[in-house]
């Protein structure tokens, strides 16, 4: 599980960054993967530990990630071949982008950025909301819900944010078809993911009429 990267000279600890060590100390079985790429650290954790780990990132004085930069969703489904790309065992990831903002007034902050990734399987598309830890997660979580259909339990106002309220399907999922929009805003009768509304779209991006909510029609 522990990765030793000899090129990692930024940290005093030669083996792992302080964030990963702290998580391991507090929650021994939370971490799935720690990855370093071009100086950025990405820690994949089990989704059950999201609120605890994010809270620790903010509250631990050694970590001090005071600034909530954003969070985003990623879908790893390979729509043409089936299965997930890059050897992932889960379909979705929610990436929390936290920043330790160096505040010259108070002397706090380490000028470091961390990416905490929550692994989310397709069967159980939900994760605990972090809006009570960082209120700034409100809009981004709504966007992820809108675009990927991942529900955030405990979110105060989980509605669609960019698409219209009667939209069918979650557009940023990889199996969501491109093109073929005939009529919008008709009480969910038409839309790209409703069978009869689909028009063939010339181009490699069209993967057929598939959507997880097709039964609704």
Q: Tell me, by CB under 8 A, how many residues bind another protein.
A: 44
Residue 75 binds another protein, judged by CB under 8 A: yes
3-state SS of 15-60 is: CCCHHHHHHHHHCCCCEEEEEEECCEEEEEEEHHHHHHHHHHHHHC
**Residue (16 or 146) nearer to another protein, CB:** 146
Q: Tell me: does residue 196 bind another protein (CB under 8 A).
A: no
The two three-digit tokens of residue 51, written as one number? 């609120």
Nearest distance in Å: CB 28, another protein: 26
Per residue, the 3-state secondary structure of 142-161, as one string, reads HHHHHHHCCEEECCCCCCCC
The correct pick among 44, 66, 129, 193 for binding another protein (CB under 8 A) is 66
Q: How far is CA 97 from the centre of its chain?
A: 10
Which of the ranges 7-15, 26-34, 73-81, 208-216 carries the binding residues for another protein, by CB under 8 A?
73-81
79 near another protein (CB under 8 A): no
Q: Which one of 3-11, 23-31, 47-55, 109-117 is the stretch in contact with another protein (CB under 8 A)?
A: 109-117
Nearer to another protein, 42 or 46 (CB): 42
State which of residues 8, 33, 60, 70 lies at the interface with another protein (CB under 8 A).
70
Query: φ and ψ at 138, to 5 degrees?
Result: -55, -60
> How many residues in total does the chain contain?
217
Is 27 among the residues that bind another protein (CB under 8 A)?
no
Residue-wise over 47-70: b if at least 16 C-beta within 10 A, else e? bebbbbbbebbbeeeebbbbbbbe
Please give the Cα distance from 203 to 179 (Å, whole number): 10
- Report whether 68 contacts 87 (CB < 8 A): no
171 makes contact with another protein (CB under 8 A): yes
Q: Does 104 bind another protein (CB under 8 A)?
A: yes
Among 95, 125, 158, 214, binds another protein (CB under 8 A): 95
What is the distance between the alpha carbons of residues 77 and 79, in angstroms, rounded to a whole number? Answer: 6
Task: Identify residues 120-139 at the interface with another protein (CB under 8 A).
Answer: 134-136, 138-139
The residues binding another protein (CB under 8 A) are: 37-38, 40, 42, 66-70, 72, 74-76, 85-86, 95, 97, 99, 101-105, 111, 113, 115, 134-136, 138-140, 147, 160-164, 171-172, 178, 203-205
């Amino acid at each position: 599980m522990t990765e030793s990267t000899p090129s990692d000279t930024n940290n005093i600890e030669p083996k792992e960054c302080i964030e990963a060590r702290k998580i391991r100390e507090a929650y021994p079985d939370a971490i799935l993967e720690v990855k370093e790429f071009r100086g950025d650290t990405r820690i994949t954790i089990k989704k059950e530990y999201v609120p605890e780990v994010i809270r620790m990132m903010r509250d631990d004085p050694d970590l001090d990630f005071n600034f909530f930069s954003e969070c985003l969703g990623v879908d790893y489904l390979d729509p043409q071949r089936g299965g997930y790309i890059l050897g992932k065992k889960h379909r979705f990831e929610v990436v929390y982008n936290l920043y330790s903002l160096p505040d010259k007034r108070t002397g706090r902050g380490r000028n470091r950025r961390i990416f905490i990734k929550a692994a989310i399987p397709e069967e159980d598309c939900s994760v605990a909301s972090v809006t009570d830890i960082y209120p700034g997660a409100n809009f981004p979580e709504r966007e992820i819900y809108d675009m990927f259909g991942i529900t955030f339990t405990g979110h105060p106002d989980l509605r669609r944010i960019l698409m219209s309220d009667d939209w069918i399907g979650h557009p940023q999922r990889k199996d969501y078809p491109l093109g073929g929009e005939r009529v919008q805003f008709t009480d969910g009768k038409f839309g790209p993911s409703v069978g009869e509304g689909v028009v063939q779209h010339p181009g490699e991006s069209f993967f057929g009429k598939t959507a997880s909510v097709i039964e609704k029609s």
